[in-house]
Structure 1
Amino acid sequence: MCLSFHSFRKLIASVLFLTFFFTGCKNSEKRTVKTEEITFIKEGELSIYKPGTDVPVLNLNIELAETDYETQTGLMYRTSMKENEAMLFIFDDVAMHSFYMKNTEFPLDILFIKEDMTIGSFQENAQPLDEGSLSSKVPVQYVLEVNAGIVAEKGLSIGDSISFQKL
């Protein structure tokens, strides 16, 4: 096979282009965006009590969601939460509130808490990344998200009360 000088230059240019192209693509695959893990920030403490008792059945460190941004984001983009940690959502109004698990990567029990600080309803074992609506079923002012299984493990029920303090 005989190549002219011009054809030879085109062949070399093509080989060089393909080499650089595939090398660049290969290297770009190695470039991943590393996101920093969102860490829990203890902003208070919360206890849950059975009616008529002064001894809590559960004590938790809580992170608070009070602003619109904190309320909308909640526990999204986190991979886990320690057993003694929870997030407490504090709303200005008493209303029906709905939550979903969009961008939440681990299962939760969601406790809907009425204005009088008693549990009005709950959603056990809400599944990660599920965008279905989880309604409070009754008007509430607070919502507590804990790791899935806590409601059953501690025998929590409607009418149990909470108390919390901000740090």
Structure 2
Amino acid sequence: MFLKRFSLPFIFTLSFFNFSISACKDDKNVVTQTEITFKKEGELKITKTDSTAITLDIEIANTEFETQTGLMYRDLMAKNQGMLFIFDDETERFFYMKNTKIPLDIIYINANKTIVSFQKNAKPMDETSLPSNLPAKYVLEVNAGLVDTWGLAVGNTISYTE
């Protein structure tokens, strides 16, 4: 008698559970990802110690969602484009490449808008922590290899307009 009382609800629960799995399994809805395209929100100028400058169109990440998402899910970015992350405070930063399809150079910049460090050629889809090693208030992401191509160095400065 004890077994019969608990077996029937148990069997009913299993039957319902299997039905739910079958219903989901047969669902033919396909989720597609919307292509994310570059949206110019400002311009950024990097001034080198020899006074030469590089100008970029930038997207700005300054909300929690934007800073957490960054350049994830993008297929490409033009050479003259980048994403500038603006934080409220200056502290050591740690970035990673989760769900980021394109290799990047990550440029860490302090509150005085001076470049303090780089993480070059960050590998797509890699979740390894990429630290600034020094306090940073801003982070600029550009296509991998551009830090070397442009000859950027610690001590170069940035300015930007929104």
In structure 2, give the amino acid aligned to 1:42: K
In structure 1, give the amino acid aligned to 2:32: K
The whole-number CA distance in structure 2 between the counterparts of 1:64 and 1:93 is 16
Q: Secondary structure at the match of 1:153?
A: helix
**Match 1:82 to one of 58, 78, 81:** 78
TM-score, scaled relative to structure 1: 0.78
Report whether the alignment pairs 1:146 with 2:142. yes
The whole-number CA distance in structure 2 between the counterparts of 1:32 and 1:79 is 20
Q: How many aligned positions are there? A: 138
Aligned to 2:67: 71
**Match 1:62 to one of 58, 67, 79:** 58
Runs of 4+ residues deviating >4 angstroms: none
Aligned to 1:12: none
The whole-number CA distance in structure 1 between the counterparts of 2:45 and 2:109 is 13
Q: CA deviation at 1:32?
A: 3.9
Q: CA deviation at 1:99?
A: 0.3
The whole-number CA distance in structure 1 between the counterparts of 2:102 and 2:50 is 33
Report whether the alignment pairs 1:135 with 2:131. yes
The whole-number CA distance in structure 2 between the counterparts of 1:50 and 1:85 is 18
The CA RMSD over aligned residues, in Å, is: 1.6
The whole-number CA distance in structure 1 between the counterparts of 2:133 and 2:34 is 36
Aligned to 1:50: 48
Extract unaligned runs of 5+ from structure 1. 1-24
Aligned to 1:20: none
The whole-number CA distance in structure 1 between the counterparts of 2:92 and 2:103 is 22
**Match 1:39 to one of 37, 40, 49:** 37
Q: Secondary structure at the match of 2:87?
A: strand
The whole-number CA distance in structure 2 between the counterparts of 1:59 and 1:92 is 24
Q: Secondary structure at the match of 1:86?
A: strand
Which of the pair is proportionally richer in strand?
2
In structure 1, give the amino acid aligned to 2:49: P
TM-score, scaled relative to structure 2: 0.81
The whole-number CA distance in structure 2 between the counterparts of 1:100 and 1:42 is 23
